[in-house]
Structure 1
Amino acid sequence: MTGNGVDRDPWVMLRAATRARVGLGRAGDGLPTAENLRLAAAHAAARDAVHLPLDADAVVAALGERPSVVVHSAAADRAEYLQRPDLGRRLDEASEARLREAAPEEPADLTVVVADGLSPRAVHDHAVAVLDALAARLDDWSFSPVVVAEQARVALGDAVAAALGSRMVLVLVGERPGMSSPDSLGAYLTWAPRVGRVDSERNCVSNIRPPDGLSHDGAAEILAALMGEARRRELTGVELKDTGAALPEAAG
Structure 2
Amino acid sequence: MGDLDRDQPASRLPDLRQMTQARVLLGRFGAGLPTRAVQSFQLDHARARQAVWSEVDRVVLRRQLGDVNVGIAEAGSMATTREMFVRRPDLGRKLSAESVPDLAALPRGRDVVIVLGDGLSASAVAANGAPLAQALLQRLEAASISIAGVILAAQARVALADPIGELLQARVAIMLIGERPGLSAADSLGAYLTCRPQVGTPDSRRNCISNIRAGGLAITEAADGIVALVVAMLKTGVSGVGLQAANAKLVAADRNEPQRLA
TM-score, normalised with respect to structure 2: 0.86
Match of residue 248 from structure 2: 249
Against the structure 1 CA distance between its residues 224 and 39, is the aligned structure 2 distance closer, same or farther, given a 3 Å change threshold? same
CA radius of gyration, larger in = 2
Q: Is the 8 A contact 2:176 2:189 kept in 1?
A: yes
- Tell me the alpha carbon deviations over residues 146-190 of structure 1, each in whole angstroms, 9 at most, x when there is no partner: 100000000000011111111110000000001011000000000
Residue type of the alignment partner of 1:217: T
Against the structure 1 CA distance between its residues 110 and 26, is the aligned structure 2 distance closer, same or farther, given a 3 Å change threshold? same
Q: Is the 8 A contact 1:113 1:169 kept in 2?
A: yes
Residue ranges of structure 2 left out of the alignment (5+ in a row): 1-8, 253-262
Match of residue 4 from structure 2: none
Which aligned runs of 4 or more in structure 1 are off by greater than 3 angstroms? none
Match of residue 73 from structure 1: 77
Residue ranges of structure 1 left out of the alignment (5+ in a row): 1-6, 242-246
Q: In structure 2, how many angstroms separate the alpha carbons of the residues matched to 1:216 and 1:83?
A: 31
After TM superposition, the structure 1 = structure 2 runs for residues 117-136 of structure 1, keeping only pairs within 5 Å, are: 117-136=119-138
Q: In structure 1, how many angstroms separate the alpha carbons of the residues matched to 2:161 and 2:231?
A: 19
Match of residue 161 from structure 1: 165
Q: In structure 2, how many angstroms separate the alpha carbons of the residues matched to 1:163 and 1:148?
A: 15
- Tell me the alpha carbon deviations over residues 213-239 of structure 1, each in whole angstroms, 9 at most, x when there is no partner: 011100011111111111100111012
Cα offset, 1:30, TM superposition = 1.1
Match of residue 4 from structure 1: none
Against the structure 1 CA distance between its residues 10 and 196, is the aligned structure 2 distance closer, same or farther, given a 3 Å change threshold? farther
Against the structure 1 CA distance between its residues 24 and 10, is the aligned structure 2 distance closer, same or farther, given a 3 Å change threshold? farther
SS class of match (1:250): helix
Match of residue 196 from structure 2: 192
Against the structure 1 CA distance between its residues 17 and 248, is the aligned structure 2 distance closer, same or farther, given a 3 Å change threshold? farther
Q: In structure 1, how many angstroms separate the alpha carbons of the residues matched to 2:50 and 2:14?
A: 30
SS class of match (1:144): strand
- Tell me the alpha carbon deviations over residues 77-101 of structure 1, each in whole angstroms, 9 at most, x when there is no partner: 00000000000000111112332x2
Match of residue 137 from structure 1: 139
Match of residue 152 from structure 1: 156
Against the structure 1 CA distance between its residues 208 and 155, is the aligned structure 2 distance closer, same or farther, given a 3 Å change threshold? same
Structure with a larger share of its residues in helix: 2
Match of residue 181 from structure 1: 185
Q: In structure 2, how many angstroms separate the alpha carbons of the residues matched to 1:142 and 1:15?
A: 44
Residue type of the alignment partner of 2:248: E
TM-score, normalised with respect to structure 1: 0.90
- Tell me the alpha carbon deviations over residues 92-146 of structure 1, each in whole angstroms, 9 at most, x when there is no partner: 11112332x2241x51100000000000111111112112222222220111121
Match of residue 244 from structure 1: none
Aligned with residue 224 of structure 1, among 223, 227, 234: 227
Cα offset, 1:65, TM superposition = 3.0
8-17 vs 213-222, which moves further: 8-17
Q: Is the 8 A contact 2:65 2:131 kept in 1?
A: no
Q: In structure 2, how many angstroms separate the alpha carbons of the residues matched to 1:231 and 1:248?
A: 11
Residue type of the alignment partner of 1:37: Q
